[in-house]
Amino acid sequence: MITSEVSDGNGYGYAKVETNISTKFWWAPYKVWLYCTSETGVPAGRILLRYEYLVFSFYSQTWGVCMRTDWYSNTSSASRWRVSTNFGGYPPCGEAWYATLGFGLVSPGDGHYYGGTLASGNHWFTTPYLASVPSVAKPAMPAWVGKDGTVDLAAMPRRLPVIDETGHVLLDASGQPVTTAIETDAPAAKNVLEAPQGVTRLETAENGTVTGVTDAVARRPLT
């Protein structure tokens, strides 16, 4: 099970994607699927997480990529892992609406990864010293994102515009929009091991549930 979040953080943006390893079973009396989180966990390296930090460009009236992380894996046995970034003292692409597009994959040990993609809602962030009241109407999420945040990967473009730190679509030398590829498949193990690992810690909830957390390094998308 995967969750995605965009929220205030220190005031200018926080992006999170989290995966819980769950067993799905059919509850016949009520005709519903239920999920039971496994606390036994999987070995290090079997959970993969990353996110795209999306931003809506007022100037081009389009959603694009502001920041992103590489793939991160669990560094110890775990059933829950979170990758998140607090953007600190400024919204990285200026005053705008932001959303988190999260990717979470888990391998049972057969060499294949299974999981999904989920989008958060969108959140307004203003630049320092400006009034924190949106002056532009909240935009609709992309057509390939459902009302519940589910993502239609068949409809999702394989490339999205790159948005610069001012909220404009980045242009190349000929004046054409720069786009970046959206990676949805599990990378080779070598690439995961070479990814910057950020700062990793364990958090224990009041009910005893332990979640592995990586404070991820977000970067501008490569084109």
Average pLDDT of 70-86?
89
What's the pLDDT at 26? 45
CA 51 – CA 177 distance, rounded (Å): 22
> For the chain, how many helices (H) and strands (E)?
1, 15
- Per the model's pLDDT, the better-predicted residue between 154 and 44 turns out to be 154
Q: Are 55 and 167 in contact (CB under 8 A)?
A: yes
Average pLDDT over residues 98-125: 91
- Alpha carbon distance 136, 138 (integer Å): 6
Rounded average pLDDT over 42-70: 93
The pLDDT of residue 191 is above 50: yes
Predicted local confidence at residue 3, as pLDDT: 87
Burial label for 129, CB within 10 Å (0-12, 13-18, 19+), is exposed
User: For residues 50 and 129, which has the higher predicted lDDT (pLDDT)?
Assistant: 50
Helix-strand-coil split of the chain, %, nearest 5: 5, 45, 50
Asked whether residue 126 carries a pLDDT value surpassing 50, the answer given is: yes
Instruction: Provide CB contacts within 8 A for 117, sequence distance 6+.
Output: 2, 101, 102, 103, 104, 151, 153, 156, 184
Cα–Cα distance for residue pair 19/22, rounded to 1 Å: 9
- Find how far residue 80's CA is from the centre of its chain: 15
pLDDT single digits (tens) 13-33 = 899 999 887 555 445 555 554
Share of the chain above pLDDT 90, in %: 45
